Amino acid sequence: MFLIASTCFAIIMGIIIFNFRMRETREPVTSKKIIIPPIAMSTGFLQFVFPAFHVTWTEAGEAFLVGMMFSIFLIMTSKFEIRGDQVYLVRSKAFIFIIIGLFAIRLALKWYIGASVSLFETSSLFFIVAFGMILPWRLAMLFLFKKKQNEIAL
């Protein structure tokens, strides 16, 4: 039952993320818009206050590294362009396929790991995977954004 509910929730979150990303291309990008998602997401680390959510440092490190590997695909689809005196995120045709692919891989891993690890530990690990994806992606976006801003200043 939980597997079905969490899968449905993951699908809904995937749709929300995709729609958010498509909306991002319509408005100028700011540093604040790039930085806020990982900062807001970091509040999820409060789950580790509760013992049921504890995982080993090795497991956490592996989960973070998996997220970092997934972030490479997101970084590759994050391009910026200058329109007038503003910087915009360029809509990537590959983004939808990458999001669907990452979602499918993540879901398969969740089902596989969830069969042998507790529900709470599984959610902890996949939170760390997600954070491992968003942090490098957003840092790379910030770097690319600042680079484009410097082009405008010249």
Domain boundaries, the chain: 2-153
Residues 125-148: what's their mean pLDDT? Answer: 94
* pLDDT for the residue 110: 78
* pLDDT for the residue 3: 65
138 pLDDT above the threshold of 70:
yes
Average pLDDT, the chain: 87
Residues 37-66: what's their mean pLDDT? Answer: 95
* pLDDT for the residue 2: 63
- Residue 95 corresponds to which amino acid? F
* pLDDT for the residue 41: 93
pLDDT band at 149, cuts 50/70/90? very high
Beta-strand ranges (E) seen in the chain are 79-83, 86-90
Residues 87-112: what's their mean pLDDT? Answer: 82
Q: Residues 106-116, buried b or exposed e (16+ Cβ, 10 A)? A: bbebbeeebee
* pLDDT for the residue 126: 87
The model carries a pTM of 0.82
CA dihedral sign of residues 142, 146, 152, 153: positive
CB-count burial class (<10 Å; 0-12, 13-18, 19+) for 59: middle
